Amino acid sequence: MVVAAALPLVAEYGAAVTTGQIARAAGIGEATIFRAFKDKDEVLDACVAEAIGTDHVLRELASVSLDEPLAVRLTEAAEALRAHMERMGTVIGALHASGHRRGRAPGPGARDGGRPPRDARTESALALRNAVVELIEPDRDAFRLSTEKVASAFLGLLFTRLQTPMPEADAPLTPAELIDVLLHGTLHHPGSN
């Protein structure tokens, strides 16, 4: 409850957010925060962990109806993943911009300035890929590649689209365009190169 209330405030104020603001947003007394967290840095670390965690986006992906056409399922998945990446970037960016460098509390094997250990990143990436595999599985026979490779290509296209800065005139691919390229390529008549 504290982290859920704190996330939008951290996104807005970064590390300058006060525990009083968080308590008011959560509808609790400020002292209640310190029953669950040692200090404000621990609250901020929990916010980072929540922002980079995949549980929320995995639930959204699982809620996409398999009865929808493939392009619709993938577009919904692209929107859910875009929102996840945006939420993560907003929280981490606000903390970084406001001088908070601690990041997520290091766990066993943590390195790289508080980022999750490589194994956790790999597990998260695999969980996302598997969720996309489940979304496209009903259309397995339509693909030239395995559903795992199609899911990996989808995630690669999507994450590259989200992370590549573009000049204002070069708008990034929309989710629908990205799905069209994934499913149909870029040629007017595939095979006519």
Shared domain for 142 and 85, answered yes or no, is yes
Q: Work out the pLDDT band at 162, boundaries 50, 70, 90.
A: low
Q: Cα–Cα distances in Å, from 30 out to 18, 20, 33?
A: 10, 6, 6
Weakest mean pLDDT among 116-125, 132-141, 179-188: 116-125
In the predicted model, what is the mean pLDDT of residues 83-99? 89
Residue 158 lies in domain = 54-94+114-183
Give the single-character DSSP code of 16: G
Shared domain for 79 and 122, answered yes or no, is yes
d(CA 193, CA 189): 8
Q: Cα–Cα distances in Å, from 175 out to 5, 18, 149, 168, 171?
A: 30, 37, 19, 18, 12
CA nearest to 10, candidates 55, 46, 34 = 46
In the predicted model, what is the mean pLDDT of residues 41-48? 93
Q: Which residues 6+ apart lie within 8 Å of 13 measured at CB?
A: 21, 94, 98
d(CA 19, CA 34): 9
Q: 72, 62 in Cβ contact below 8 A?
A: no
Q: 77, 61 in Cβ contact below 8 A?
A: yes
pTM, 2 dp? 0.76
- Number of domains the chain is built from: 2
Shared domain for 119 and 76, answered yes or no, is yes
Predicted local confidence at residue 14, as pLDDT: 92
Shared domain for 176 and 127, answered yes or no, is yes
Shared domain for 83 and 121, answered yes or no, is yes
Domain with 178 in it: what CATH number?
1.10.357
Tens of pLDDT, residues 94-109: 998 888 876 544 444 4
Q: Which residue has the tokens 């597990």?
A: 123
Which residues lie across from 111 on neighbouring strands?
115
Predicted local confidence at residue 104, as pLDDT: 45
18 three-class SS: coil
CA nearest to 77, candidates 147, 8, 164, 178 = 178
